[in-house]
Structure 1
């Protein structure tokens, strides 16, 4: 990832979103590009046009937090976008292109963490890393994502499944939103882990094999997976609406725990119970065998 280009494209795409009338300026008729002009943004943020132009070209030398805050407010960035801008500014100042990329060995999940997952018998749960690999999962989580475990990959990866596996469009009824969210999450991860060769290789693979991913990547949207509602069409138990929470581990950088739950008494809760029974040991002591689980 070229940090200068990333800064340039991110600021340009965010500037293109803000219409003049949104900030009290006349729209005019002779605008060749959408959004604010550089000099308009600079004036609104309280910096010189030449200084902002230099920043948008990827030169963040000497930029202060106060200036980045002013630009963030003018561009109406949300918290995730603001943090992304700060990450890009730090990368630009740090000279990322002089650094050598390295492979990041997948962290080992401590046994106690796997024990905690295994004891969460009524809730699907999984731990993922920055590359969106599943590095630990409980039985119900594995059953929920049965298709991913059938794909035959050495590493089970959310992003590859979403963007490259045609079954994902059936599994996720709102696939367009899920795919956009996935690409936006990878962009955040790429700015925070610019030397992670595994991550850059994954992004390169997705961009090479998926035109739709290339379009999403070019939008420079950013997103963090924190909480929300996930709609799923499971091949065994049908439609499930699950609320999810993402939790990070202070002592395990790069790892996050995803826990899913259904509204009590809802059809989705019934579907989860059915899925749990499907994976439970049969009367003879053997696990129920279905779709590879």
Structure 2
């Protein structure tokens, strides 16, 4: 007996032509649409596993597999939400409508005092999800104009994967994207990981899910940043883990004299001091 999830995937596969996904036409076949072999290859799973899902013999695909299938079928946001809902009612673990609470955005007063001592340095408090929870005025000065702090609840991971400016701001965008995706696995809990990736995957698409499935441990070298003013920065990152809060205090230090001079120029007009984002 099938499941709503398996029925949807099979129907979507039957109604998807290879040409729609840029695949070659392999000639006539007994059933219409995309072959299981092609869909499985695009999703990075075995044909046997895809068959089990379609036939209802596997009712518990992981969120990574569900996202990979959504990418492989080029589903839009509404179809992705429906796919996660079908996974839920078929007995899976991807919950779309009763999501867990996000990680706390509260920063302890002692951490804020520590951050204040780092002025006029470039520093921020963040978490593995990428939420920017508090920052120095120098951080705001250095990131002014790139769009990261435009939101009331800024998030570096969302910015990297969804803001088109990020690719020009970070010359090493692929490395930064690898870091952001890997850090999601280190988030506060499995619930918050699944909540955040379920929210982000529909808009980030394969660039995110492909990296989540690779599990590549990033090198985390110097951070290069191309400021909209035309200035180039190279920053060394030092991270202090605040394990009790599942947060990190990150300090960004100029890696060379040219960057130090650029940072001085950028933060000269800045004023107002520390900012906490609640």
Query: What is the distance in 1 between the residues matched to 2:153 and 2:271?
Result: 25
Residue of structure 2 equivalent to 1:218: 213
Contact 1:231 1:240 (C-alpha < 8 Å) held by counterparts: yes
Q: Give the alignment partner of residue 130 of structure 1, picking from 128, 138, 147.
A: 128
Question: Are positions 1:270 and 2:258 aligned together?
Answer: no
Residue of structure 2 equivalent to 1:238: 231
Query: Structure 1 stretches of 5 or more lacking a match?
Result: 1-57, 59-95, 282-286, 288-293
Per the TM alignment, residue 149 of structure 1 is displaced from its structure 2 partner at its CA by 4.4
Residue of structure 2 equivalent to 1:259: 251
What is the RMSD of the two structures over their aligned residues, measured on CA atoms? 3.1
Residue of structure 2 equivalent to 1:111: 109
| Aligned 1:272-287 pairs, distance under 5 A | 272-280=263-271
Cα distance change, pair 188–270 in 1 and its aligned pair in 2 (3 A): same
Query: What is the distance in 1 between the residues matched to 2:214 and 2:110?
Result: 40
Question: Are positions 1:193 and 2:189 aligned together?
Answer: yes
Q: Give the alignment partner of residue 203 of structure 1, picking from 197, 200, 209.
A: 197
Contact 2:148 2:159 (C-alpha < 8 Å) held by counterparts: no
Contact 1:237 1:275 (C-alpha < 8 Å) held by counterparts: no
Query: What is the distance in 1 between the residues matched to 2:186 and 2:125?
Result: 18
Query: What is the distance in 2 between the residues matched to 1:166 and 1:112?
Result: 36
- Look up the SS of the partner of 1:173 in the other structure: coil
Normalized against structure 2, the TM-score is what? 0.57
Query: Structure 2 stretches of 5 or more lacking a match?
Result: 1-61, 63-91, 274-278
Contact 2:120 2:136 (C-alpha < 8 Å) held by counterparts: no
- Look up the SS of the partner of 1:195 in the other structure: helix
Normalized against structure 1, the TM-score is what? 0.54
Residue of structure 1 equivalent to 2:160: 162
- Look up the SS of the partner of 1:278 in the other structure: coil
Residue of structure 1 equivalent to 2:240: 247
Contact 2:126 2:247 (C-alpha < 8 Å) held by counterparts: yes
Contact 1:122 1:140 (C-alpha < 8 Å) held by counterparts: yes
Contact 1:185 1:222 (C-alpha < 8 Å) held by counterparts: no
Per the TM alignment, residue 140 of structure 1 is displaced from its structure 2 partner at its CA by 0.7
Contact 2:128 2:186 (C-alpha < 8 Å) held by counterparts: no
Per the TM alignment, residue 134 of structure 1 is displaced from its structure 2 partner at its CA by 0.8
Per the TM alignment, residue 272 of structure 1 is displaced from its structure 2 partner at its CA by 0.9
Query: What is the distance in 2 between the residues matched to 1:109 and 1:187?
Result: 22
Contact 1:187 1:222 (C-alpha < 8 Å) held by counterparts: no
Contact 1:101 1:194 (C-alpha < 8 Å) held by counterparts: no
Per the TM alignment, residue 188 of structure 1 is displaced from its structure 2 partner at its CA by 3.0
Cα distance change, pair 125–186 in 1 and its aligned pair in 2 (3 A): same
Query: What is the distance in 2 between the residues matched to 1:200 and 1:144?
Result: 32
Contact 1:118 1:138 (C-alpha < 8 Å) held by counterparts: yes
Query: What is the distance in 2 between the residues matched to 1:150 and 1:136?
Result: 11
Contact 2:127 2:248 (C-alpha < 8 Å) held by counterparts: yes
